[in-house]
Structure 1
Amino acid sequence: MTTAPRRPNVLVIQADQFRWDCLGAAGNPDVQTPNLDRLAADGALFTNAFCPLPVCTPSRYSMLSGLYVHQHGAWTNHSTLPPALDTFPRSLRRAGYRTAAVGKMHFTPTYLDVGYDHMALAEQHGPGRYHDDYHRELREAGLAPVLDLLDQEEHLRTQAPASYWETYGSGRSDLPEEWHSTTWIGERAVQELKGWTDSGSHLLHVSFVKPHHPFDPPAGWDEMYHPDDLSPLPGWTERVPEADRGHQHGYFDYGGLTEPVLRRVMAHYYATISQLDHQIGRLLDQLQASGLYDDTLIVFTSDHGEYLGFHHLLLKWGPMYDPVAKVPLIVKFPVGSTGTSRRAEVDDALISLVDIAPTVLSACGVAPAQPLPGLDLAEPRVVRRCVFAENRTGDGIVFMARSATHKLLLHSGVSGALTDAASAGTPAGVHGLSPATTSAAARGSRDALYALMTDPFELHNRIDDHAHADQAEHLRSELANWMLFETPTPTYLDENAPQIDAENVPPEDQTALADHRTYFESKATGQSS
């Protein structure tokens, strides 16, 4: 009698607001990430991975469900993933996996069931911090993350001292290292891994709060980097470009963001990354000590990126430029799987976080409950012409369509493109748009096209440059095709939805229903009942 091979374990490690190039493996010369670098040496490093929306909760729901935001409908940090939509944790749980989550999930309600049997939460923003395990334990210990509270709670931010504004929310944490969220999450994740056995299959989702602002490493870590030793990352400008002036007051006033101040911010941002990397090293060491490392699928990523000086901006409020739309992504495949050959590979293909769900399910031999738009990253080379993202602003939706050479940011006019495509019955219909239809005046002045091969830092808007008109039309066509044909919004179905309580509503009786159907069908076919 032969026994079926044991399914791989799955470890998903997620950071928050982690800029894609802040990894040694990605070529950053300053930040120290030895553990993530060794993970990349055992797997595939994807250097063109993008989030579907650069905001925490919508991006997390997309990763879990494998659906784009316009498909799952949870557009903001205060939103709920519809229970009728499946997730890869739910699929694995149905398949017999033991599932758990540790850290920041950013769900509403806080302990929303997306497929995890057990959740030990450390939240940061919104009501979750007043429900979670971490803050309850902090209170029992008589502690409070004061800097984090001043940064995250808008009604408290006005009471922040001048030093908070001068440092752009960076500095030493007011918590000892053992109570810092990164340590708390890492310790509980290690304990979960210690409970893994050879007799079952496990999924653990570990989600760190950091390096999300405030950039507040604990004592010791805060002195790891000296500002004078750091260099601004590519895309830093001495002032906010004219096109971005409307975004410069999203959180801080960037008038005081000089290069020395930026380097001080970077020193603390990098320190939170190195502290996080240390905890990831503990997770990898535990898997190796238990003999489970080789047979575990490990994914490391972030929900969105961070400007960190790009266009003289910080954080994530503003246009979907690459530093905020791109995310780090490392996938280490289990031994013997299709993806094993991807060891120590650097892949620049266009990738989306919606690819994680089909990748995990495929590695575990579990079929998705519904068709998913993403791709299996175990394949030798993912081929995608464009990658897409979307976001809501105060006056509508912004779309991003990005190829290997160009990026289109469309704030208005997409309805016209979609209407043309739909009326033509084919995405090719949008190629017929006249130059007048695509003028800046018709679309709105905030639309943008960037020629990334010659303008990698997205400083020169070519939307009205006739030399790039074909590329603009091509990306508009790709966007229309994606919205209308490739990723339609799922139809919500719940056969057991609540009904009114009234005498004329028949009870749920399948026998009576079948008898009723037989009667009418017999009449329709001319037979007697």
Structure 2
Amino acid sequence: MNSPNILLLITDQQRWDSLGVYGAPEAQTPNLDKLASEGIRFDQCYCNNPICTPSRASLMTGGELPDHGVMQLEDVLDQRQMMFPELLRQAGYKTALFGKQHVSSRVIEHRERHPNDGFDTYQWCHEPAIHTGSAFNGYAKWLKEKNPNFLQELGEKGRRIGHFPNELHATRWTADATIDFLNEQSGGDTPFLCIASVFDPHDPYDDYPKEVAARIDQTKIRKPIPRSDDSTLPKGILLERRMGYMARHPQDEADIHDLRLGYHASISFIDEQFGRILKTLENADLKENTIVIFTSDHGDMLGDHGLMAKGAFFYDPCTRIPLLIRWPKQIKGNQHTNAFVQLNDLAGTIVEAAGISTPLRKQFLPHSKSLLPYLTGQNICPPRNTAICAYRHTGYGNSSKGSQYIPVSATMLREGDFKLCLYHDEANDDLSAEGQLFNMTADPYETNNLWNIQEYQATKRVMIQTILDWIDKREGGLTRFQSDRIPT
């Protein structure tokens, strides 16, 4: 067998600095840290959008935000779009999904599959507490066999159920199902793509097995980055802070500490279960020819800058995500790079590693930059000089009238030492460009906004023009701002 197997491990809402290998003092992640030591760690990986659906659509199609048409949380991926597993399936791979997909609205996904998702085995679970009656819900079927009383309780209480038992946790189910699949591949000649996609550490933050909390040294839990003066913030961030779906969440010091404890406990449990999966690769004699990729769809603010979860802001805790890749046949191990990469680059990387022809990759994945040269030890220029993250009225708020999208459009550019965040739509009712500019080398916590500092105006103008060019090329002039209106 020449084509490598692919094992893609995905978490939900996991910020980059939540693993020991990324320097998190409170992290208990020995298995993922070991995975990094055996492969390559990407230190500057950014999502394409800081909300689940558009971000995952970018991952699965290889497209940047405008390319696939999924802009908002409840958008639906067009049926003509091709997901990269379909390309692998057509190339002879056996393909499987266990867990969350979310390239379209969950309301659609629980009723019907995307015709080009490409999975031979499809055991879906959007979130453990909802859509338990879906015909695709593998977790609910598993629970019905193991403990029907708990399944009923879960249906009645939903997210209010609190701590899940270890043996009934959705992350445990994902690991068990993945392990069964891997064991079935042992000794076979057909390459496989297996995606294990868990819902945690997404809120609610108290769904981890209760005993796992003892692993976390609470004295090492970091305090949040202080809240910025509201007068320095763009209207879009202020609107998100007031209207975001977690805006009413308590933000006193004790509450933030508790949710951070739950967050890291969930990650520790994920690490344990993913560790079981990685051990199975070894036991099934699949490790050497399997590319293992670990990542997430976006991050979580956890109270940093006075913000919760995710939304119309581009601070690193929200947009920068972990990315670890191991390929024993190619990567020596203990490597890392500061090159800019984005979540949608994984599609092109996987498809090229599978040996799919260049014309097909260019046809279906024109904006996905392959990371394969990093995995094969070639000395090349970085695939990207910049990273762009776009928010287009993406997430809904906490209105009592139901899901209402927050009217904010904004775009982030990460280039060189700098990050620029441009807010350019309805939130700015006076049509004046607002934003943030940070020197990420000198100010990694993003506390010193250089937007109005005179010596950085030239940098600001060039970066804004780069954003406007990107918008014009991909979205047909969505923004109402022109370069001659950029304040100096």
Q: CA deviation at 1:208?
A: 0.5
Alignment partner of 2:98 out of 96, 102, 120: 102
Q: CA deviation at 1:462?
A: 2.5
Q: CA deviation at 1:465?
A: 2.5
Q: CA deviation at 1:442?
A: 4.8
Q: CA deviation at 1:209?
A: 0.6
The 2-side partners of 1:300 and 1:148 are apart by: 30
Matching residue of 2:378 = none
Q: CA deviation at 1:62?
A: 0.6
The 2-side partners of 1:231 and 1:48 are apart by: 21
Is 2:167 aligned against 1:201?
A: no
Q: Write the letter of the residue equivalent to 1:80.
A: V
Matching residue of 2:460 = 472
Identity of aligned residues (%): 27
Q: CA deviation at 1:253?
A: 4.8
Cα 1:148–1:360 shift into 2, 3 Å: farther
Q: Write the letter of the residue equivalent to 2:139.
A: Y
Larger CA deviation: 12-21 vs 359-368: 359-368
Q: CA deviation at 1:413?
A: 7.3
Cα 1:149–1:41 shift into 2, 3 Å: farther
> How many pairs are equivalent?
435
Q: Write the letter of the residue equivalent to 2:45.
A: A
Is 2:69 aligned against 1:66?
A: no
The 2-side partners of 1:354 and 1:261 are apart by: 34
Matching residue of 1:304 = 298
Matching residue of 2:348 = 358
Q: CA deviation at 1:30?
A: 1.6
Cα-Cα RMSD: 2.8
User: Which residues in structure 2 correspond to 1:331-346 (within 5 Å)?
Assistant: 331-335=325-329, 337=330, 340-341=331-332, 343-346=333-336
The 2-side partners of 1:227 and 1:251 are apart by: 27
Q: CA deviation at 1:475?
A: 1.2
Matching residue of 2:482 = none
The 2-side partners of 1:53 and 1:377 are apart by: 20
Structure 2 residue runs of 5 or longer lacking an equivalent are 375-380, 394-405, 477-488
Alignment partner of 2:417 out of 391, 405, 408: 405
Matching residue of 2:485 = none
Q: Write the letter of the residue equivalent to 1:219.
A: K
Q: Write the letter of the residue equivalent to 2:213.
A: D
Is the Cα contact below 8 Å between 2:28 and 2:216 reproduced in 1? no
Matching residue of 2:382 = 382
The 2-side partners of 1:239 and 1:403 are apart by: 23
Alignment partner of 1:122 out of 108, 122, 125: 125
Q: CA deviation at 1:450?
A: 2.2
Is the Cα contact below 8 Å between 1:147 and 1:173 reproduced in 2? no
Cα 1:127–1:176 shift into 2, 3 Å: closer
The 1-side partners of 2:410 and 2:156 are apart by: 30
Is the Cα contact below 8 Å between 2:389 and 2:413 reproduced in 1? yes
Matching residue of 1:219 = 210
Q: Deviations over 1:469-517 (max 9, x none)?
A: 11112212322343445x579xxxxxxxxxxxxxxxxxxxxxxxxxxxx
Alignment partner of 2:221 out of 215, 224, 230: 230
Alignment partner of 1:461 out of 439, 449, 462: 449
The 1-side partners of 2:4 and 2:129 are apart by: 35
Cα 1:147–1:247 shift into 2, 3 Å: farther
Is the Cα contact below 8 Å between 1:102 and 1:121 reproduced in 2? yes
Structure 1 residue runs of 5 or longer lacking an equivalent are 153-159, 161-171, 415-438, 490-529
Matching residue of 2:399 = none
Q: CA deviation at 1:125?
A: 8.4
Q: Write the letter of the residue equivalent to 2:314.
A: M
Q: Write the letter of the residue equivalent to 2:437.
A: L
- Secondary structure at the counterpart of residue 127 of structure 2: coil
Is the Cα contact below 8 Å between 1:254 and 1:312 reproduced in 2? no
TM-score, structure 2 as length reference:
0.82
Cα 1:127–1:101 shift into 2, 3 Å: same
Is the Cα contact below 8 Å between 1:14 and 1:208 reproduced in 2? yes
Is 2:51 aligned against 1:55?
A: yes
Is the Cα contact below 8 Å between 2:128 and 2:139 reproduced in 1? no
The 1-side partners of 2:418 and 2:348 are apart by: 27
- Secondary structure at the counterpart of residue 28 of structure 1: coil
Is 2:310 aligned against 1:316?
A: yes
The 2-side partners of 1:206 and 1:465 are apart by: 46
TM-score, structure 1 as length reference:
0.76
Is the Cα contact below 8 Å between 1:448 and 1:461 reproduced in 2? yes
Q: Write the letter of the residue equivalent to 2:26.
A: D
Q: CA deviation at 1:287?
A: 0.5
Q: Deviations over 1:78-116 (max 9, x none)?
A: 232223222220110000001000011124333334111
The 1-side partners of 2:26 and 2:74 are apart by: 36
Is the Cα contact below 8 Å between 2:296 and 2:321 reproduced in 1? yes
Cα 1:210–1:466 shift into 2, 3 Å: same
With a CA cutoff of 8 Å and minimum separation of 6, indicate the structure with the bigger relative contact order.
2
Q: Deviations over 1:339-360 (max 9, x none)?
A: x25x211111111011101111
Alignment partner of 1:184 out of 173, 178, 193: 173
Q: CA deviation at 1:265?
A: 1.5
Is the Cα contact below 8 Å between 1:227 and 1:260 reproduced in 2? no
The 2-side partners of 1:253 and 1:64 are apart by: 30
Cα 1:379–1:484 shift into 2, 3 Å: farther
Matching residue of 2:149 = 142
Q: CA deviation at 1:147?
A: 8.2
Is the Cα contact below 8 Å between 2:347 and 2:365 reproduced in 1? no
Cα 1:256–1:354 shift into 2, 3 Å: closer
Q: CA deviation at 1:241?
A: 4.7
The 2-side partners of 1:333 and 1:277 are apart by: 19
Is the Cα contact below 8 Å between 1:400 and 1:408 reproduced in 2? yes
Q: CA deviation at 1:71?
A: 0.5
Q: Write the letter of the residue equivalent to 1:181.
A: A
Is the Cα contact below 8 Å between 2:314 and 2:412 reproduced in 1? yes
Q: CA deviation at 1:332?
A: 1.1
Q: CA deviation at 1:311?
A: 0.5
Is 2:337 aligned against 1:347?
A: yes
Is the Cα contact below 8 Å between 1:145 and 1:174 reproduced in 2? no
Matching residue of 1:290 = 284
Is the Cα contact below 8 Å between 2:312 and 2:391 reproduced in 1? no
Q: Write the letter of the residue equivalent to 2:391.
A: N
- Secondary structure at the counterpart of residue 210 of structure 1: strand
Q: CA deviation at 1:238?
A: 5.9
Is the Cα contact below 8 Å between 1:405 and 1:452 reproduced in 2? yes
Matching residue of 1:80 = 76
Alignment partner of 2:34 out of 38, 41, 55: 38
Is the Cα contact below 8 Å between 1:306 and 1:314 reproduced in 2? yes
